[in-house]
Amino acid sequence: MVPFASRGHVIKPLNELTATEIVAAIGERRATCEAVVRVCLDRVDSREHEVHAWAHIDPKTAIAAARALDSSGKRGPLAGVPFGVKDIIDTFDMPTEWGTPIHKGRQPKRDAACVALSRKAGGLLLGKTVTTEFANLHPGPTRNPHDLTRTPAGSSSGSAAAVADFMVPIAIGTQTTGSTIRPASFCGVFGYRPTYGDHRMHGIMEASGSLDTLGILARSIADITLYRDVLLGIPPEPLAKIERPHFALCRSHIWDQIEPITQTLIEDAAFRLARAGARVTELTLPAEFELLNDAHRSISSFEFARTFTWEIENHWNEISETLRGGRLQDGFTGNFARYIEAKQLADECRRRLDALMGGIDVLLTPAAFGEAPVGTPAFAGVPLYQVWTALHVPAVSIPVFRGTAGMPIGAQLIAKRHDDRKLFACAQWAYEKLT
Amino acid sequence: MVPFASRGHVIKPLNELTATEIVAAIGERRATCEAVVRVCLDRVDSREHEVHAWAHIDPKTAIAAARALDSSGKRGPLAGVPFGVKDIIDTFDMPTEWGTPIHKGRQPKRDAACVALSRKAGGLLLGKTVTTEFANLHPGPTRNPHDLTRTPAGSSSGSAAAVADFMVPIAIGTQTTGSTIRPASFCGVFGYRPTYGDHRMHGIMEASGSLDTLGILARSIADITLYRDVLLGIPPEPLAKIERPHFALCRSHIWDQIEPITQTLIEDAAFRLARAGARVTELTLPAEFELLNDAHRSISSFEFARTFTWEIENHWNEISETLRGGRLQDGFTGNFARYIEAKQLADECRRRLDALMGGIDVLLTPAAFGEAPVGTPAFAGVPLYQVWTALHVPAVSIPVFRGTAGMPIGAQLIAKRHDDRKLFACAQWAYEKLT
């Protein structure tokens, strides 16, 4: 591994730098794009046979792109940063197979907007990360890098594992239920689900268009802040500071399903934040919000079962039993009136949450029921994510806890729609106080 | 041309039947799927060199599919109905080129959801219809079938022209501004833009995801009613009846830009509907709704310029000057704060419209400024469509007027979000009274 020697900085291997650190190192000529990419590829080489984070990886192309960037001298806000992309997101130079044998070898002719925006900013695509089948329940081969016997969670399994295992500093995932926040919690990295509708989704496999968003996996809030601006196609602004954030502990109606250790950790975090100078209150969601679990399920299943009509009609036998008997069966039996009612309820609750939150900056709530379980039962905790995803609010998971087995557990912070930047400021504040 | 002889029905060539009539004729064994497809293809043969409605057409495949359907005896709600699809919508068996040389020969591996749902219901894909470049302003070769010197309007140019010229009974378009309602008006057919969010958009080129919807072009409201249910993936329900609809004339703040002849036709239609037994009132939109024009422009340009990052970065010189200097320039200069404000304003106005409409069933407003102009200045009337499209409301254009040159002009009817079925009932009622 190539050591990274800096002037007065902590010495870290290049693959352990954050994106922000890589951009600075390259900008100050303390590293080359090629060196960064090579060290990341070395890390993949030494670990991939155990972690299985990648669906496709293309060292030659990545090295060639790094060299070209080195010699061009072009510098964008993401210059020289290797990134991974969930394999439901189109890339013109690598296949995009959606985690299903049905689309084996599928080769798009263009990049999805998020990939093109990353490359435009100087990012170097290292490869495509493993997704569960159609970004739904049926798991891929990825394992949790902290304990290979455990699940990394899904559906953005490979993106979370690759970032956690220091193969890339940042990766793009997606979230329709908990597909970014859950693997971020299980793998001990930062995960971000944006306000619904902010990012262009073209070139990304649609699962449930009324709920799908991009997701970012990274090892710092500064990186998420930077990468969000890149993916919005706007000039990056540094992470804002907040003086005395107002957190509200929100247990929500699924609190009983949360593991006791996680309950304790979250409640304890609320005390510690208060002690560190935050204003900390509690928010109880109105009873009507319990209906959001069913609403999320009605919307996502109804849409999923129609989005994949071509696969259902032409490749039924190549779809997993998990998906056929689960989401699809659910979607076939759904009716349109219930689907519309669910969307109207979600819309109404979104407005109510704005009012309920008043002067609260962010809500504090669990990012998972508990630690990553052994095996691949990747999808505990669905009810936890349904509520927030249906509300279209931005969410961040910060890696601040350890469970009884020593595995990571995240705290989830939730802001009002469009308060993404404030969310980052509060997340950074909380992360500093809780670690 | 093969005549269609029926028991007591008017004798019409098969290509002039509506989808509903074709389904009935095939169901009652008065016609075969193959005969219908062949007559439609004959019509294309005799007219396409003048109309230029098609980007790709594949007679062999269509005839083979028709024969297979005839011999299988399978009957779906759209059995034997030939349909056309705008060439920004993916089809596994035909290229999908988005009206740009950049994507010449682009061959998707699967059908878009709307195409797969159409085929599942027994529809027979005849071909891909001409779209303007990236479904934006730069026109394709299509001409108005009522007068070849005039524009069919865009961006769903080929879909509207093919339906108007009796080449297919139904075709799918899309609408981000006025891309379905405007060509429906210019070509004298029925056009329908659904409530935003109802239909799955996967496999359809995204232009501006916060505004894009499917669109249906057809020659009857019954066909639109049928095809909407097929595209929603739900069991079709026949067109509902309404006893005494409540129309409200809505001139909106762009009334001064409407041609005087169209103003007169719309006001006269309001009188005639009242005389025919409808309740007719007026609705004046609050002044704030004028801001929706700018809001629509901010949202669509900001999103468009990011969606097409790959094309902008890699194929700038193959993009038309119309698009580079127009929508893209506009999108590059847009800023994120204004974009979010525009989305919030639109969201707020949507809620206000629900309240404003109260017991009103549908609004009556123009579907275009006037007749199709000579040449290809296809995009008059943008301000007329921006307001309604930003409001996410369903809209129908009904072909009930003629201008001074004898060209069609549509009346546009607008319902509250999710009142699409009521909209169809009112549109049918109005069409019967106004023709």
pLDDT single digits (tens) B59-108: 999 999 999 999 998 889 999 999 999 999 999 999 999 999 999 999 99
Cis peptide before A155 (omega within 30 of 0): yes
With beta carbons less than 8 A apart as the criterion, state whether A360 and A283 touch.
yes
Asked if residues B141 and B158 have their Cβ atoms less than 8 Å apart, the reply is no
What residues of A are annotated to the active site? 86, 155, 179
Please, which residues have CB within 8 angstroms of residue B320's CB and are 6 or more apart in sequence?
B133, B138
Segments making up each domain of chain B, as ranges? 3-232
CB contacts of A311 in chain B (<8 Å) are 110
B305 burial via Cβ count (<10 Å: 0-12, 13-18, 19+): buried
Task: Give the pLDDT band of residue A252 (cuts 50, 70, 90).
Answer: confident
Residue of B nearest to A303 (CA): B200
- Specify the pLDDT at position B75: 87
Q: Model's pTM, two decimal places?
A: 0.96
Nearest to B93 by CA among B57, B46, B47, B137: B57
Q: Which residue type occupies A47?
A: R
B residues 207-236 lying closer than 8 A (beta carbon) to A? 209-210, 232-234
Q: Is B185 a catalytic residue?
A: no
Q: Do B418 and A116 touch (CB under 8 A)?
A: no
CB-CB neighbours of A177 under 10 Å:
28
Give the β-pairing of A395-402 and A190-193. Answer: antiparallel
Q: What is the pLDDT of residue A381?
A: 81
B121 contact residues in A (CB cutoff 8 A): none
Contact B321/A at CB under 8 A: no
C-beta separation of A50 from A141 below 8 A:
no
- Per CB-CB distance under 8 Å, the chain A contacts of B103 are 109-110
pLDDT in tens, B408-434: 999 999 999 999 999 999 999 999 999
The number of C-alpha atoms within 13 Å of B231 and in the hemisphere containing its C-beta is 28
Q: What is the pLDDT of residue B8?
A: 52
Q: What residues of B are in contact with residue A234 (Cβ under 8 Å)?
A: 335-336
Nearest CA in chain A to B213: A209
Max CA distance (Å), chain B: 64
Chain B residues with beta carbon closer than 8 angstroms to that of A308:
113
pLDDT band at residue B10 using 50, 70 and 90 as cut-offs: low
In a 3-state reduction of DSSP, which class is residue A362?
A: strand
Contacts of A91 in chain B (CB under 8 A): none
In this prediction, what percent of chain A has a pLDDT beyond 90?
94
The count of other CB atoms within 10 Å of the CB of residue A341 is 16
pLDDT score for B79: 97
- What the block records as the tokens of B391 is 């409001």
| A328-379 pLDDT per residue, tens | 999 999 899 999 999 999 999 999 999 999 999 999 999 999 999 998 765 6
Pairing of strands A190-193, A213-218: antiparallel
- B118 interfacial to chain A (CB closer than 8 Å): no
Query: Given the structure tokens 């704005």, which residue do they identify?
Result: A354
Catalytic annotation present for B397: no
Report pLDDT for A9.
Answer: 53
Q: Do B313 and A120 touch (CB under 8 A)?
A: yes
Distance from CA of B166 to the nearest CA of A (A): 28
CA of B120: which chain A residue's CA is closest? A313
Peptide bond into A298 cis (omega under 30): no
Instruction: Indicate the pairing of strand A170-175 with strand A362-366.
Output: unpaired
Q: A374: which DSSP letter? A: B
Average pLDDT over residues B289-317: 98
Tell me if residue A410 falls in helix, strand or coil. Answer: strand
How confident is the model at residue A375, as a pLDDT?
87
Whether chain A has a CB inside 8 Å of the CB on B76: the answer is no
Confidence grade of residue B393 (pLDDT, cut at 50, 70, 90) = very high
Q: Check A120 against B305: CB less than 8 A apart.
A: no
Helix (H) or strand (E) holding A160: helix A157-164
What's the CA gap between B118 and B91, in Å, rounded? 11
Please check the confidence at residue A149 and state whether its pLDDT lies above 70: yes
Select from A200, A232, A233 the Cβ nearest to the Cβ of B206: A200
Phi–psi pair at A11, nearest 5 degrees: -85, 120
CB contact under 8 A, A310 and B92: yes
> A335–B201: do the CB atoms touch at under 8 Å?
no
**Torsion angle, CA of B380/B383/B385/B388, rounded to 10 degrees?**
-170
**Main-chain dihedrals φ then ψ at residue A293, nearest 5 degrees:** -60, -50
Q: Would you state the structure tokens that stand for residue A189, as one six-digit string?
A: 């990295």
Interface test with A, best of B106, B125, B200 (most A CBs within 10 A): B200
Whether pLDDT at A64 is above 80: yes
Q: Tell me the torsion sign for CA atoms A11, A15, A21, A27.
A: positive
Taking the CA of residue A106 and the nearest CA in chain B, the distance in Å comes to 7
- pLDDT score for A377: 67
- Return the pLDDT at B381: 81
Residues 6+ apart with CB under 8 A from A418: A195, A394, B340, B344
Judged by CB atoms closer than 8 Å, whether chains meet at B200 and A92 is answered as no
Asked if residues B218 and B170 have their Cβ atoms less than 8 Å apart, the reply is yes
Q: Which residue of A has its CA nearest to B204?
A: A202
Strands A170-175 and A213-218: antiparallel
* Least confident stretch, A17-21, A381-385, B21-25: A381-385
Q: If we measure between CA atoms, which residue out of A216, A32, A127 comes closest to residue A23?
A: A32
Per-residue pLDDT, averaged over A124-139, amounts to: 96
Check whether A279 has a pLDDT greater than 70: yes
Closest residue of chain A to B418, computed from CA coordinates = A340
Of the pLDDT bands very low, low, confident and very high (cuts 50, 70, 90), residue A2 is very low
**Residue labelled with tokens 């802001």:** A415
Q: Classify domain A1-435 by CATH architecture.
A: Alpha-Beta Complex (3.90)
Given a contact cutoff of 8 angstroms between Cβ atoms, the answer to whether A252 and A414 are in contact is no
- pLDDT for A10 equals 57
Looking at residue B3, what is its pLDDT?
43
Side-chain half-sphere exposure of B382, counting CA atoms within 13 A:
14
Residues from chain B contacting residue A206 (CB–CB below 8 Å): 200-202
Residue among B116, B310, B335 minimizing CB distance to A111: B310
Do B336 and A311 make contact, defined as CB atoms within 8 angstroms?
A: no
Predicted pLDDT of residue B1: 37
Mean pLDDT over the full length of chain B: 95
DSSP structural state of residue A80: T
A303 near B CB under 8 A? yes
pLDDT value of residue A376: 72
Overall fold of domain B3-232:
Amidase signature (AS) enzymes (3.90.1300)
Question: Which band of pLDDT confidence, cut at 50, 70 and 90, is reported for residue B342?
Answer: very high
Q: Pick from A85, A100, A120, A306 the residue to mutate for testing the B interface (most B CBs within 10 Å).
A: A306
Q: What is the pLDDT of residue B11?
A: 76
Interface subset of B 185-204, CB within 8 angstroms of A = 197, 200-203
Contact with chain A for residue B94, Cβ under 8 A? no
Structure token pair of residue B395: 């809209």
Looking at residue A5, its pLDDT comes to 44
Residue contact B313–A92, C-beta within 8 A:
no
- The pLDDT confidence band at residue B144, using thresholds 50, 70 and 90, is very high
- Residue of B88, B109, B202, B208 best to disrupt the A interface, most CBs of A under 10 A: B202
Q: Are B164 and B146 in contact (CB under 8 A)?
A: yes
- Coil/strand/helix, residue A128: strand
User: Any idea of the CA torsion for A390, A393, A398, A401, to the nearest 10 degrees?
Assistant: -50
- Categorize the per-residue pLDDT at A1 as very low, low, confident or very high, splitting at 50, 70 and 90: very low
Helices vs. strands in chain A: H and E counts, helices first: 15, 11
**E-state strands within A97-200:** 124-129, 170-175, 190-193
CB distance B320 to B133 below 8 Å: yes
Closest-CA residue of chain B to A118: B309
B9 touching A, CB under 8 A?
Answer: no
Residue of A200, A213, A330 to mutate, interface with B, max B Cβ within 10 Å: A200
Q: Inter-chain contact B197–A343, Cβ cutoff 8 Å? A: yes
**Euclidean distance between CA atoms A223 and A216, whole angstroms:** 9
Question: What pLDDT is stored for residue B252 in this prediction?
Answer: 86
CB B114 within 8 A of CB B104: no
Q: Which of B309, B333, B347, B418 to mutate to test the interface with A (most CBs of A within 10 A)?
A: B309
Position A180 pLDDT exceeds 60: yes
Residue from A102, A117, A235, A254 nearest A178 by CA: A254
Write the CA distances from B260 to B308, B370, B434, integer angstroms: 39, 9, 19
Picking from A139, A135, A142, the residue whose alpha carbon sits closest to that of residue A88 is A135
Give me the total of CB pairs closer than 8 Å, taking one residue from chain A and one from chain B: 94
Mean pLDDT of B364-390: 89
CA distance A271 to A280: 8
Catalytic residue, chosen from B118, B156, B157, B179, is B179
